Amino acid sequence: MRATVLTDARLLKLAGQFAWLDLDTEQPRSYAFVEQYPIEAWPTVLVIDPASEKVLLRWMGTATAEELERLLLGAEQTLRQAQTEAAADAAGAAMARGRALAGERKHAEAALAFNDALAAGGPRWAERAAAADALLQALASAGDDRVCAGTAAELLPGMERGPAFARVAAAGLGCAAALEHDPSREPAIRAVEPYARRALGLPDLLADDRSGLYDQLFSARRALGDEAGAHRVAREWLAFVQDEARKAPSPLARSAFDGARLTAATALGEVASQLPALEASAKALPEASFAQGYLALGYLEVGRPAEALEVARRAVALAEGPRKVRVLITQAQAQQALGDVEAARATLSYAIAFGDVLPEAVRPRGQLTRARNLLAEWGRAAPGGD
């Protein structure tokens, strides 16, 4: 979004209405802000009332320039409504209430408000797509996967085919695939998956949104045990990523596809063919820990642990915040692959100690759990391990 959306001319006319701030939440200098305004997904757009310091809009995920303009103007309207204590209509009032609740991270309550907005606005309401998008965000953030998937299946048939339709399909499919050990998972996936597949063919989607659709379609096929289908999606996904990377205007823009490139290539067993692209990113962006981290993972995947360790150490030296935990785990995996289990365990212990003292708002719980699991596993496997 930084490279393709925030530079759009239509946002320039809003420059006088908003003070723009771009934060890297993994930098220590951002921790105070993130503790006050916790971030649950990347990217996230916040609009904050400078007087009350309340969040007027919390938008998690991508948006086109046109959608972002509409969201920002909607947040400004929310502020005006709050100041006058009057809403223009029932649907608008419910939408404003939902945005305020989402800003406070009261996701379940926000979902109820967005549902009210959809009911009051009806099928021809101009903001219906935005309300549906916001509702799925709220349900997914609340962790209500069954309701999230079911709501997507209900809303998608009547939605206008555009970027919001694609994001609702992706979110709904992600919720459906997350229904592990639940008999409703397969029917939930099958109810939403055709819309996600259809959304791939829509024009004017952000590349991030299209890649996100491939990611969810791949995960859904895996969840259904369809490895052949997952392989086909991964093949399409990798071709898309390669094409977008070729068209990218800068090394930074190209590197935005490296994570998807690595995931798809790993699924296909073709990481070796993608190493030149990962190496190019690491060379062009020597101070970017994410570029070094992806290359280290690539080397590890193709059985080159010595090179993985060298690059992982560069990434560790550059990384701050939660990303440091991730690249420390990669470093430990390289050390373990080289047979130095003692060093690997020491690296994991450091990763855990480092992550545990990060502020609550940025603490990478999933990665810390992964580090602890590996530490326990390697402790059992290593002679004399604890």
List pLDDT tens digits, range 92-110.
999 999 999 998 889 999 9
Six token digits for residue 375 = 């530490």
Which of 14-18, 196-200, 290-294 bottoms out in mean pLDDT, i.e. has the lowest? 14-18
- Parse the chain into domains and list their residue ranges: 9-288, 289-386
Give the 3-state secondary structure of the chain.
CCCCCCCCHHHHHHCCCCCCCCCCCCCHHHHHHHHHCCCCCCCEEEEECCCCCCEEEEEECCCCHHHHHHHHHHHHHHHHHHHHCCCCCHHHHHHHHHHHHHHCCCHHHHHHHHHHHHHHHCCCCCCHHHHHHHHHHHHHHHCCHHHHHHHHHHHHHHCCCCHHHHHHHHHHHHHHHCCCCCCCHHHHHHHHHHHHHHHCCCCCCCHHHHHHHHHHHHHHHHHCCCHHHHHHHHHHHHHHHHHHHHHCCCHHHHHCCHHHHHHHHHHHCCHHHHHHHHHHHHHHCCCCHHHHHHHHHHHHHCCCHHHHHHHHHHHHHHCCCHHHHHHHHHHHHHHHHCCCHHHHHHHHHHHHHHHHCCCHHHCCHHHHHHHHHHHHHHHHHCCCCC
**Residue 384 burial class via C-beta count within 10 angstroms: exposed 0-12, middle 13-18, buried 19 and up:** exposed
The average pLDDT across 242-268 equals 95
Q: Confidence band (pLDDT; 50, 70, 90) for 47?
A: confident
- Residue 11: per-residue pLDDT: 74
- 8 A C-beta contact, residue 154 and residue 172: no
Question: Above 90 in pLDDT, residue 377?
Answer: yes
pLDDT digits (tens, 9 = 90+) for 198-237: 999 999 899 999 999 999 999 999 999 999 999 999 999 9
Per mean pLDDT, which range of 40-44, 162-166, 186-190, 300-304 is the poorest? 40-44
pLDDT at residue 385 greater than cutoff 60 = no
Q: What is the pLDDT of residue 74?
A: 81
Closest by CA to 117, choosing from 104, 133, 103, is 133
Q: What is the pLDDT of residue 41?
A: 76
pLDDT exceeds 80 at position 10: no
**Over the Cα atoms of the chain, what is R_g?**
22
CA 217 to chain centre: 15
Q: How confident is the model at residue 275 (pLDDT cuts 50, 70, 90)?
A: very high
Question: Over pLDDT 90: what percentage of the chain?
Answer: 70
| Minimum mean pLDDT range among 80-89, 192-201, 231-240, 297-306 | 80-89
Average pLDDT, the chain: 89
Q: Does the pLDDT of residue 20 top 90, yes or no? A: no
Query: Mean pLDDT throughout 258-271?
Result: 96
Domain 9-288 sits in which CATH superfamily?
A: Tetratricopeptide repeat domain (1.25.40.10)
pLDDT of residue 84 exceeding 80, the answer is no
Burial zone of 211 (CB within 10 Å; 0-12 exposed, 13-18 middle, 19+ buried): buried
pLDDT recorded at residue 8: 72
| CATH class of the domain comprising 289-386 | mainly alpha
pLDDT level of residue 337 (50, 70, 90 thresholds): very high
pLDDT of 384 reads 38
How large is the average pLDDT for residues 304-312?
98
Peptide bond preceding 249: is omega within 30 degrees of 0, i.e. cis? no
Q: What is the pLDDT of residue 23?
A: 82
- Under 8 Å between Cβ of 223 and 185: yes
Q: Do domains 9-288 and 289-386 have the same CATH topology?
A: yes
Between 24 and 230, where is the model more confident?
Answer: 230
Q: Above pLDDT 70, what percent of the chain?
A: 93
Question: Is the pLDDT confidence value at 7 over 90?
Answer: no
How confident is the model over 327-346, as a mean pLDDT?
97
